[in-house]
Structure 1
Amino acid sequence: MSTPVQNHVINHIGISVSNCEAAAEWYKKLFGFQSIGSIRHPKRSTQPNHCAFDIFPASLKEFKMAFLTAGNRVGFEIFEFIEPKTYVPQPEFEYHRGGVFHICVTDADPNALADRMVEAGGKRIGVSARPNSENTMVYVSDPWGNAIGILDGSYERVIGMMQMSA
């Protein structure tokens, strides 16, 4: 007899940027994310027992990490790898590369939030779109190249409406 698969909740999302402090402030200012504690700065030379050094290869010598939380209690971690240094592969949005494609937030006015994000150093990706007759979606990248979708409805509602119109 097989055990039923649990529908797991998302615990947290981690992104990589080239400036941890600036990114933490950007996400707090634009999305209202809240800090949990202070930014950490582990170094393998002084904190060899830090759990990250168990996970990552010996080539990781130093990094910074900020812990934020979203309005629905999903964690948002921001990493800045110092040695070796974080890099942004391309200035253009690489929609076809492997890995995490984007994160998405919900906002009643996606275009207004996108405008604020651009004013704060982000970059619009394409134009706003209508996934169904009732909703709007916009994509913007943060100043470090991470793609962020913005929807004006819940995931279940937007996808449900798309399925009904298909």
Structure 2
Amino acid sequence: MMLNKPYPRSFSHIGLSVPNVEEAVKFYTEVLGWYIIMEPSEVIEDDSPIGQMCTDVFGKGWGTFKIAHLATSDKIGIELFEFPNNKAPENNFEYWKTGIFHFCVQDPDIEGLVEKIIANGGKQRMPIREYYPNEKPYKMVYCEDPFGNLIEIYTHSYEFTYSQGAY
């Protein structure tokens, strides 16, 4: 009997909650160069197909929120959500808790991107580090957008960075 081995699914998109969707669109388009697929718009709790889908996800009583859709150069979608009465967590880097704690982008000019993030209200969380000093030029760093979402930056592709399977 042959077992059905799962095939690798492609990554479609990630949703980020931000305190101001217009400011987030500005940051991500100007700093990371992502494309606007859908300008910020309001979604209202009603009987429309999108209203029903959101009620399925959030439960009754969610009311309204703003949303915008962006895309990366490799066609990955970014959904930006602005919920009413949103609250920033006291500690946005609780890496020990289950869930997503960062996303990663790739830029060979890691220093330039870090400078641009800082100049646009974000911050650098650590020094830029080399994965394989004196062997390969692969670097990484953790930063934050102005809204507290963690952004990791690699100079090279994920596959290249981990292709040898060990540090």
**Identity rate, percent:** 31
Mapped contact 2:92–2:149 kept (Cα < 8 A): no
Q: Does residue 43 of the first structure (1) align with residue 44 of the second (2)?
A: yes
Counterpart of 2:14 in structure 1 is 13
Shift of 1:29: 0.3
Distance (whole Å) between structure 1 residues aligned to residue 162 and residue 154 of structure 2: 11
Distance (whole Å) between structure 2 residues aligned to residue 26 and residue 70 of structure 1: 14
Which secondary structure does the structure 1 equivalent of 2:115 belong to?
A: helix
Structure 2 counterparts to residues 11-160 of structure 1, below 5 A: 11-44=12-45, 47-49=46-48, 50=51, 51-82=53-84, 85-90=85-90, 93-133=93-133, 134-160=137-163
Distance (whole Å) between structure 1 residues aligned to residue 96 and residue 110 of structure 2: 24
Q: Deviations over 1:106-134 (max 9, x none)?
A: 00111220111011000111211112232
Query: Structure 1 unaligned runs (5+)?
Result: none
Shift of 1:67: 0.3
Which secondary structure does the structure 1 equivalent of 2:126 belong to?
A: strand
Which one-letter code corresponds to 1:78 in the other structure? L
Which secondary structure does the structure 1 equivalent of 2:163 belong to?
A: helix
Change (3 A) 1:135 1:68: same
Distance (whole Å) between structure 2 residues aligned to residue 72 and residue 156 of structure 1: 15
Shift of 1:16: 0.4
Shift of 1:74: 0.6
Query: Structure 2 unaligned runs (5+)?
Result: none
Moved more, 7-16 or 125-134: 125-134
Distance (whole Å) between structure 2 residues aligned to residue 93 and residue 157 of structure 1: 27
Which one-letter code corresponds to 1:106 in the other structure? Q
TM-score by length of 2: 0.88
Shift of 1:38: 2.0
Shift of 1:97: 2.9
Distance (whole Å) between structure 2 residues aligned to residue 118 and residue 93 of structure 1: 18
Mapped contact 1:91–1:145 kept (Cα < 8 A): no
Shift of 1:37: 2.4
Shift of 1:91: 5.2
Which one-letter code corresponds to 1:111 in the other structure? E
Mapped contact 1:20–1:65 kept (Cα < 8 A): yes
Shift of 1:59: 3.4
